[in-house]
Amino acid sequence: EAGVTQFPSHSVIEKGQTVTLRCDPISGHDNLYWYRRVMGKEIKFLLHFVKESKQDESGMPNNRFLAERTGGTYSTLKVQPAELEDSGVYFCASSQGMDQPQHFGDGTRLSIL
Amino acid sequence: AQSVTQLDSQVPVFEEAPVELRCNYSSSVSVYLFWYVQYPNQGLQLLLKYLSGSTLVKGINGFEAEFNKSQTSFHLRKPSVHISDTAEYFCAVSPTSNTGKLIFGQGTTLQVKP
């Protein structure tokens, strides 16, 4: 089976621009998670979808971040406008159930100049 | 709230030597425990998990971990490492009553030298 796929693998944009990251979970996985790792820090939870609904968005840093999962399949994470502190690696993970192991994508490395 | 502390940011070790990567956690509720590994330019891969039962958990690639509730630790061990084990290792917890979100430690880079 195909794993979790993230696009793009690397994005370089200027401060103030908009960027959209995409995650395609493993087929049939209702649970989809976004995490972020800022350089030198730990990986931090951003939010959790169950199908198309946001189950927990307690980790979203501010209202410049917008996550969607229309139709309960792939998800997008949009940053608008991007700030320097948004640089880092954004990981997506999916699982069949909330008590099942999460499968991670390779991440999107976002660089804000 | 939960927190995870990985006591070593880097662990250098020679090939075929044993290794232990330390992990301590803090939580007021019951948690599941995990170890993930990230090889260069790849995503995180699950090494092993503790949900319940036996406190000694065996994972992939010859790794094992022991859950110690009294010391709130979940140290990862391997009796003999290979060059290919060079990677970053992450300890994580997830509250049993929560949404499944993972709380990670800072990561430990294992550097296996020939």
Read off the pLDDT of residues A3-27 as tens digits, 9 standing for 90 and up: 999 999 999 999 999 999 999 999 9
Residue B23: per-residue pLDDT: 97
Residue A7: per-residue pLDDT: 97
**Is B100 in contact with A35 (Cβ distance < 8 A)?**
no
Report pLDDT digits (tens) over A29-85. Answer: 999 999 999 988 899 999 999 999 999 999 999 999 999 998 889 999 999 999 999
Q: Is A41 on the interface with B (CB under 8 A)?
A: yes
Q: Is B7 on the interface with A (CB under 8 A)?
A: no
Q: Is B104 on the interface with A (CB under 8 A)?
A: yes
What is the residue whose two structure tokens read 């709230």? B1
Q: Is A33 on the interface with B (CB under 8 A)?
A: yes
CA distance to partner chain B, nearest, from residue A80 (Å): 25
Give the number of other Cβ atoms within 10 Å of residue A24's Cβ: 18
Q: How many residues does chain A have?
A: 113
**Is B44 in contact with A56 (Cβ distance < 8 A)?**
no
Report pLDDT digits (tens) over B49-108. Answer: 998 888 899 999 999 999 999 999 999 999 999 999 999 999 999 988 777 899 999 999
Residues of chain B in contact with residue A41, where contact means CB-CB under 8 angstroms, are 106
Residue A72: per-residue pLDDT: 84
Q: How many residues does chain B have?
A: 114
CA distance to partner chain B, nearest, from residue A26 (Å): 14
- The 3-state DSSP class for residue A47 equals strand
What is the residue whose two structure tokens read 């796929």? A5
Q: Is B90 on the interface with A (CB under 8 A)?
A: yes
Distance (Å, whole) CA A75 – CA A92: 9
**DSSP percent split of chain A into helix, strand, coil, nearest 5:** 5, 50, 45
**Is A103 in contact with B32 (Cβ distance < 8 A)?**
no
Which residue, among B50, B2, B5, has the nearest Cα to B23 in the 3D structure? B5
Q: Using CA of residue B60, residue B42, residue B83, residue B109, what is the dihedral sign?
A: negative
Residues of chain A in contact with residue B107, where contact means CB-CB under 8 angstroms, are 42-43
Q: Is A40 left (phi over 0), alpha (psi -120 to 50) or beta?
A: left
Residue A1: per-residue pLDDT: 67
CA distance to partner chain A, nearest, from residue B40 (Å): 10
| Of A31, A42, A103, Cβ closest to residue B100 | A31
Residue B93: per-residue pLDDT: 94
**Is B36 in contact with A107 (Cβ distance < 8 A)?**
no
